[in-house]
Structure 1
Amino acid sequence: MKDFWSKEDLVSLQAKHDVLLAIDSDGCVFDSMTVKQRVFRDGVVEFWGLEAAADEVHRICEWVGLFSPWRGLNRFQLILKFFQSLEQYLPTLGSKLPTAELEAFVKSGLTLSMPELERWIERTGEEKLLSVLEWSREMSRRISELPPIPAFDGIFQSLEKLHVAADLIVVSQTTEDALVREWNHAG
């Protein structure tokens, strides 16, 4: 599978219908948003030594990841929003977080992926971002160890009905490994 599909890739898809429906599986097919966001927020506490403020960090990260306009962002954009929100509401934590360095990567225009972050660190020498890279790798590992996350009731019957009238594709910020595992488990 490809990590990234360009506009040209989508344009060259062989359509069977006049309608293309793009479905994000996290939160739309699988009830996975809350579980994954809790993995992320616990990792933020652990990786940046925020145990003394864990309850507040949990609340802020859950709001950003689940209830804010930023829900569903790429993990690097999301952790940047976590950091910015933590600095705003818990300013004493700011010195522990690589916010400015991560913001430079997120705004670089590069694909926001672990391999690209690793190359960015090599090019820029920005060692503060090593913690973000390790956090991301560990979050992927932890998510891969989660028990199977069930699909919402009725979703596959709905997809069968939609498939008659539309071409369906999955769009997701989820890593390819997790995405394939979730869909394979669901059947």
Structure 2
Amino acid sequence: MGQDLQAELKAFEPQHDFFVGIDSDGCAFNSMEVKHNDSFSVNLIKYFGLAAISRQVHQVWDFVNLYSKTRGINRFKAIILAFDFLSQMPKVKRAGVQIPDLPYLREWTETETKLGNPALDQIIKNATGARLEELSKIMEWSLDVNKTISEIVYNLPPFPYVCQSLQKLEGQADMIVVSATPYEALKREWDEHNISQYVALIAGQEMGSKAEHLAISAKGKYAVDQIIMIGDSPGDLKAAQSINALFFPVNPGYEEESWQQFLDQGIDKFLGSTYKGAYQDQLITRFDALLPEDPPWCLG
């Protein structure tokens, strides 16, 4: 992708009047649970010595990344949020487990938008002392997460109706992948199932936030009512809203039904300029009600 990780986004030029951004994990692929349950949280326990509170780690990690309004959050922000929750849990306090505060990771995530391993590696090269120790451990965890995912996540096809939707849009809209997943995993998964042929480019976490992906590739290049983001998290909705684009929600737990609705109704309404308004509003209202904001456990 070159030294400028956003160069491909900046060079992107419209070939059609319509633009479609598509999230990957949990949206196009049923890959969220296997990645988070069998790689992210397992490696978190391993690298931070959290075996004594394994159940709480899994509970908190799943809430942050799968079953709340922070679903789909970047992995580095997820660690901070998960550790903040863990540090408040009575069972964790009684277990006497020290939860790291991660001040240097917090500082980095507050100032950097391209929250991926390449950007973290640049920070580590100039770090010393406690900063170097903390960020190096985070990098080791992140690399091991990627390694585990590459070993276990395969033979996992897209949700039903995804391929048909891409085929229906082909020749009528420019499509790109808009994701917080590392590029390497996205490329591998989209290639494995022969659907990368439908997208003009694949934008992962190394290219910046999802809002940046959309702003750089689509804003000002298409009419706002001819840009749509397909996603499964509130973060995807916010990314679409950041450029006043349309949004089609893939509802967690109802992914197949969502994609069938997009294929049967959503695409035609989008291309026919009748998507915005009551139709989109009712979809977003239902979507917003599916994911809670507050955790199910007692923090007192």
The answer to which of 54-63 and 80-89 deviates more is 80-89
Aligned residue number for residue 30 of structure 1? 29
Aligned mates of 2:142, 2:41 — CA distance in 1: 12
Give the drift of 1:163.
2.3
Higher Cα Rg, which structure: 2
Counterpart position of 2:179: 172
Aligned partner of 1:120 among 109, 118, 123: 123
**Paired residues of 1:60 and 1:85 also in contact (CA < 8 A):** yes
Task: Note the C-alpha offset of 1:164.
Answer: 3.7
**Aligned residue pair count:** 184
Report deviation, 1:173.
Answer: 1.5
Give the superposition deviation at 1:11.
5.8
Superposed, 1:82-101 pairs within 5 Å as 82-89=82-89, 90-91=92-93, 92-93=96-97, 95-101=98-104
Summarize deviations over 1:45-97 as a string: whole Å, max 9, x none. Answer: 1111111110111111111110122211221112222222212223544x342
Unaligned runs of 5+ residues in structure 1 are none
Equivalent residue number for residue 134 of structure 1: 140
Q: 1:156 aligns with which of 160, 163, 172?
A: 163
Distance 1:88 1:4, change over 3 A: farther
Q: Structure 1 112/181 Cα, relative in aligned 2: closer, same or farther at 3 Å?
A: same
Distance in 2, Cα, partners of 1:110 & 1:124: 19
More helix by share: 1
Q: Is the 8 A contact 2:87 2:99 kept in 1?
A: no
Aligned to 2:50: 50
Note if 1:183 corresponds to 2:190.
yes
Report if the CA contact (8 A) 1:98-1:128 is conserved. no
Q: Partners in 2 of 1:156 and 1:88 — Cα distance? A: 43
Which stretches in structure 2 are left out of the alignment for 5+ residues? 195-300
Distance 2:187 2:9 in 1: 20
Query: Hey, what's the Cα distance between the residues in 2 that align with 1:147 and 1:10?
Result: 27
Aligned-pair identity (%): 36
Distance (whole Å) between structure 1 residues aligned to residue 146 and residue 46 of structure 2: 15
Alignment deviations for residues 122-175 of structure 1 (CA, whole Å, 9 cap, x no partner): 323211221111000000100111141221112101111122432100111111
Larger relative contact order (Cα-Cα within 8 Å, sequence gap ≥ 6): 1
The CA deviation at 1:120 is: 1.5
In the aligned structure 1, how far is the partner of 2:106 from the partner of 2:52?
25
Q: Give the aligned partner of residue 6 of structure 2.
A: 5
SS in 1 for 2:189: helix
Structure 1 residues 173, 4: closer, same or farther in 2, change over 3 A? farther
Structure 2: how far apart are the matches of 1:147 and 1:17?
34
CA RMSD of aligned residues (A): 2.0
Partners of 1:103 and 1:70 lie apart in 2 by: 17
